[in-house]
Structure 1
Amino acid sequence: MDSGGSTHSRSLLRSATVSELAQYLSLTIALGGLQFVWSVETGFGSLYLLSLGMKKSHVSLVWLAGPLSGLITQPLVGILSDNCTAKLGRRRPYIIGSTVVVVLCLIIIGWTRELTGSRPLPTVWLAVVAFYVLDFAINCIQASMRALIVDSLPTSRQDAGTAWASRMIGAGNVAGYLMGFLDLVRLLPFLGSTHMQVLTSIASLALVATVAITCYFTTETPLARLPTQLSTSGSSSSSLRALGTIFTSIRSLPAAIKGVCRIQLFSWIGWFPFLFYGTTYVAHIYAATHTSLGSDDNSADLMEKGTRAGSLAMFAYAVSSLGFSLILPLFAYSSASRTALRQRGARADTVSAFGRIRQVLRKVQQVVSVSLSRMWMVSLAVFSVAMLLTFVVSTVRGATWLIAACGFCWAVTIWVPFSIIGETISDYNSAERSMRDESRGDGYIPIESADIPMEELATGERRSNNAQLEREDTLQRSSDAGGLSAGTILGIHNVFIVMPQFITALASSLIFAFFEHANGPEPENPDRQHAHEIALVLRLGGISSVIAAYYAWKLRH
């Protein structure tokens, strides 16, 4: 009987695991499609705009679309979707509508010359407007998708959902840069006559397919049909107050989150030039090298081949990032995860050979793992060294190795800050959340048995009056302190990621404009000059990452 019951339990466990895996995949796959689109924009947008005749200083100003959209769209869409009463749900209308806009913008970008009759000024302006609208639509999808993950998963599975989102982002990066490296016109001529046309066509199809999967297999309860709907009176004014809170509540952030925001401010000054000019940097090195060797190719053919070389470098970076995102969580810990690891080790099966192996691996993991903040510090140091090594790197192979090494740094960047913020929010609000659930008085109160002492489970007795008063006092102190919601904290965190892009866009524009006026006549090897100018921007980002690494070293979490 025991053997049969055990077998049945394992069967149920496997079934539940498969069901959860399917939910994670369907819920987060749209982020992979969105990342594919974003990798196309960041990896090839600069080269495309330059091919239309724009100056590098003007291209830098185009990328102000990113911070503008992130600063406005994500907080605003989060608030509007919170109050959306559409039959499709709160998030899906924004996801579907923004997907349509993204596809239209990608079509315009791919066929800009055809739409304007190749007239220079209208072509440039149409492309710039399309890139701006594209950025706003991408941020709308991203904000809605992140909110949908929070809505759809219980608290105990939020961490797993975020981990799967990171994996989908990594997979989208790999796919995007791989497509850029391939000779798509030869492989898929029916999707377009130029590389950019085929690339935007594939990106459109990938986004539509992944969004369709997420929206079809993810169910939402319309806001108007929720069983306990709060009064909506004054919702407009409260939404405006909530939006204002994003920009006025920085002083009340917990210390750990203030530290994270400070690090992000300096680290993203380095990341934005890398993301927007990495492909262009390698492409100009390729063109400069082959020009020096006396290549018979004209400048357009050299840049076409250089673009594929840059795409290969970014593809190596994306593969490196995806691999590290799977491995690094095994060698890093937060206070909560280290406690859980010890508890699992205490309960581990030490009878079977497999159980003993797992026990040994857990002990090794405890010995070699480092804290999240230390791993973040190391990644920032590695990134700064890679950017400063552009002083000595002058070959495509060397530049490719530098960019691939940054995959380690990117894997940490899209994981560690959000892990620290998530755990800090949970610790900061746990007492308030528990007290609010117990004092709702509107019928069913969801509780977890882990929150109830064992003697209360056995006897059914209430908590002591002293304990209840103590919890009420804790809640009162939290309320008086103006405790922040997760949405507000994430909105503030996004501001510290967005602001560096303003800084880098303006700084790089000034640097490029200076060289455009200082060079005078066309240099003998303009591609080498262009590579030097981009490398200078990358080095400034490396210096900023040194400052970020110092603050990560000081971070105590």
Structure 2
Amino acid sequence: MRGQVVAVDQSSCSTWKLVAVASIATAVQYSWAIQISLLSPYIQSLGVPHTFSSLIWVYGAITGLIVQPVLGFRSDQCTSRFGRRRPFIVTGVGIASVAYMLIGFAKDIGHKAGDSLDETAKPRAVSLFILGFWLLDIANNALQGPCRALLADLCLQDHKAMRTGMSWFSFFMAIGNILGYFCGAYANLHTHFPFTITDTCKRNCANIKSCFFIALLLLLILSLIAVVSISEDQLSDEYVKKLSNGQQPQANMSFMRELIFVFLNLKRPVWLLLLVTSLSWMGVFPILIFGTDWQGKEVFGGDVMSTNESIVERYEVGVRSGSLGLMLNSAVLALASLAIEPVGRLMGGVKRLWGVGNLIMAGGLLCTVEISKAAEVWWRGQPDNGNWEFPPLSILCGAWAIFTVLGISLAVTFSIPYAMASIYCSINGGGQGLSLAVLNLSIVIPQMIVAVMAGPVDILFGGGNLPTFVIAAVFAVISGLLAIFVLPDPYEQEQPTFQPPTTKARRAVIF
């Protein structure tokens, strides 16, 4: 009943429940993988130049900047009879379904609205694509934030369980990446969905449309399993007061006041956590959004905007090769995610593992320069007769090796900051949703910076992705050194100052 402290059995933290909730990350990350591997090239095929294509990612960053904190705050204080987190998860599923259809059918709808088949620029399709892209980012925030908060809720302030839960989430993100990048690399995916081919939507477009049909199926199945298998009770008024540190209930506190309250009460370890997270994402984000474009341009010597069909074909094959590299990256990410807890103990703390992961990231980013130079030398020696061969196996394997090794870096980046934020929240009291949303600000702000600055960097240094990668490597080095030598572990230095009311059955208001 509302207004009472709800008893939650110790079994709330069962592995099955953690896995059921974390598995939603498969569907969320699958759609992210499609965005990362295919949508940057796709938006260029609609007539948007490479210099400006990165700006579409600003929409996602702005969405995360606004939506994630609001959703985190609202889910913390949600008193729905269906629970705190599940209503937001279901809403996210609905918005994502609309976004999938808008992106997949952008060319078809744009053509019916007046876009010409003979012109490269398709402004109506671009508008629909951007709307779908924006809605998809809203949906992913509505799913990812509450899912992570629900994982922390289930762990009942067990710090090891929190790290394990976030590692499971990272593992399923990797599974989603593998599926998404595999679909991105599979040139004939549309043959399994023949209705996707239309006069306006040829092979590559039909492949993207097919990918989003699969995304919809994955999301519906996994979210249904999680929502049905995890029961949530109405939020207790007593626990709402506890979340506000004994002050007025959160239901009577504005979002901005609560957010300001959170920032004013952040301690030095958490500020450092936010700083290291921001610098880490300044290193991670460029390779995620430009990795397949790098393969198509610098490794395969292609250009999607070219009037030469052979050069366009090389770019498209390079993008699929990049998707294969990202799939290998995700396989390592999955394995590394399950090893974070034991490896972190061996290294004397997960923050050291995080630092080493960032240094590995820097090395991988710098290696793209050497691979690109080798590919450029090779392409210069090839005859310009319209026929072309794949780059030498040594160049391809080098490019794939970079993606593969970076899977270690992504595993720690996708899990350790979230685990540390959840642990800090459980130590000091407060809502997991808002706590993780504050951490998310340190992720989306770097994304905005990268998205806005990639175009000017492209122009300033003569085009291509390499200047952005080199700058990202510098940030990765700085974040790695800060993580190892400066960042403390707040949960190792602090003792809990707030515990929910407990009994022998370990009473706590979790939902």
Pairs within 5 Å for 1:135-284: 135-156=137-158, 157-185=161-189, 187-190=191-194, 192-193=196-197, 194-223=206-235, 226=236, 238-240=252-254, 242-247=255-260, 249-250=262-263, 252-284=265-297
The aligned residue for residue 78 of structure 1 is 72
Structure 1 residues 140 and 230, CA gap change in structure 2 (3 angstroms) = closer
Residue matched to 2:379 = none
CA contact (8 A) 1:46 1:280 kept: yes
Trace 1:53-452 onto structure 2 (pairs within 5 A): 53-117=47-111, 118-119=115-116, 120-156=122-158, 157-185=161-189, 187-190=191-194, 192-193=196-197, 194-223=206-235, 226=236, 238-240=252-254, 242-247=255-260, 249-250=262-263, 252-288=265-301, 298-333=310-345, 368-394=346-372, 395-426=395-426, 428-429=427-428
Which amino acid counterpart does residue 126 of structure 1 have in structure 2?
L
Q: Does 1:501 align with 2:501?
A: no
Contact 1:268 1:497 in 2 (8 A): yes
Structure 2 gap ranges (5+): 1-9, 117-121, 198-205, 373-394, 490-511
CA RMSD, Structure 1 to Structure 2 (Å): 3.0
Q: Distance in 2 between matches of 1:411 and 1:271?
A: 11
Deviations 1:506-551 (A, max 9, x none): 1102123446xx7xxxxxxxxxxx6xx1121111100111111221
Change in 2 beyond 3 A, CA 1:514/1:288: same
Distance in 2 of aligned mates of 1:249 and 1:44: 38
Query: How high is the TM-score relative to the length of structure 1?
Result: 0.71
Measure how far apart 1:153 and its partner are: 4.1
CA apart distance, 1:326: 1.9
Secondary structure, aligned partner of 1:392: helix
How far the C-alpha of 1:489 sits from its partner, in A, is 3.8
- What residue in structure 2 maps to residue 543 of structure 1? 474
Q: Deviations over 1:235-290 (max 9, x none)?
A: 687442x5344356445423322221111121111111111111111122343179
In the other structure, the counterpart of 1:556 is 488
- C-alpha distance in 2, partners of 1:276/1:371? 30
CA distance 1:384–1:93, shift in 2 (3 Å): same
Tell me the equivalent position of 2:45.
51
Q: How many residues align?
A: 432
| 2:400 partner amino acid | T
Offset of residue 45 of structure 1? 1.4
**Identity percentage of aligned residues:** 24
- Please report how far the alpha carbon of residue 319 of structure 1 lies from its aligned counterpart in structure 2 after TM superposition: 0.6
Does the 8 Å contact 2:418/2:439 carry over to 1? Answer: no
Q: Residues of 2 paired with 1:227 and 1:18: CA distance? A: 21
Provide the C-alpha distance between the structure 1 equivalents of 2:16 and 2:92, rounded to a whole number of angstroms: 25
Cα distance in 2 for partners of 1:384, 1:19 equals 37
Specify the code of the residue in structure 1 equivalent to 2:192: L
In 2 relative to 1, CA 261–318 (structure 1 residues): closer, same or farther, beyond 3 Å? same
Distance in 1, matches of 2:458 and 2:33, equals 23
CA distance in 2, matches of 1:264, 1:215: 30
Shift of 1:401: 1.2
Listed one character per residue, the Cα deviations across residues 164-200 of structure 1 (whole Å, up to 9, x for unaligned) are 2222122111211122112343551336221111111
Letter in 1 for 2:41: L
Which of 1 and 2 has greater Rg? 1
Q: CA 1:166 to 1:229, structure 2 compared with 1: closer, same or farther past 3 Å?
A: closer
Q: For 1:381 and 1:121, how far apart are their aligned partners in 2?
A: 42
CA-to-aligned-CA distance 1:476-528 (integer Å, 9 cap, x gap): xxxxxxxx65555433322212211121111102123446xx7xxxxxxxxxx
C-alpha distance in 2 between matches for 1:543 and 1:415? 22
Question: Any conservation in 2 of the 1:185–1:192 contact (CA below 8 Å)?
Answer: no
Deviation of the 1:127 alpha carbon = 0.9
**Displacement of 1:372 after TM fit?**
1.9
What per-residue deviation string (whole Å, max 9, x for no partner) do you get for residues 460-489 of structure 1?
Answer: xxxxxxxxxxxxxxxxxxxxxxxx655554
- 2:31 maps to which of 28, 32, 37: 37
Aligned to 1:365: none
Q: Which has the higher helix share?
A: 1
Greater mean alpha carbon deviation, residues 52-61 or residues 368-377: 368-377
Residues 1:161 and 1:374: Cα distance change in structure 2 (over 3 Å): closer
Q: Name the CA distance, whole Å, in 2 between partners of 1:485 and 1:221.
A: 16
Shift of 1:332: 1.4
- In 2: Cα distance, 1:145 partner to 1:83 partner: 15
| Distance of 2:347 and 2:173 partners within structure 1 | 25
C-alpha contact 2:12 2:154 (8 A) present in aligned 1: no
2 CA distance for matches of 1:230 and 1:18?
A: 20
One-letter identity of the residue aligned with 1:75: P
Q: Which has the higher contact order (CA 8 A, sep 6+)?
A: 2
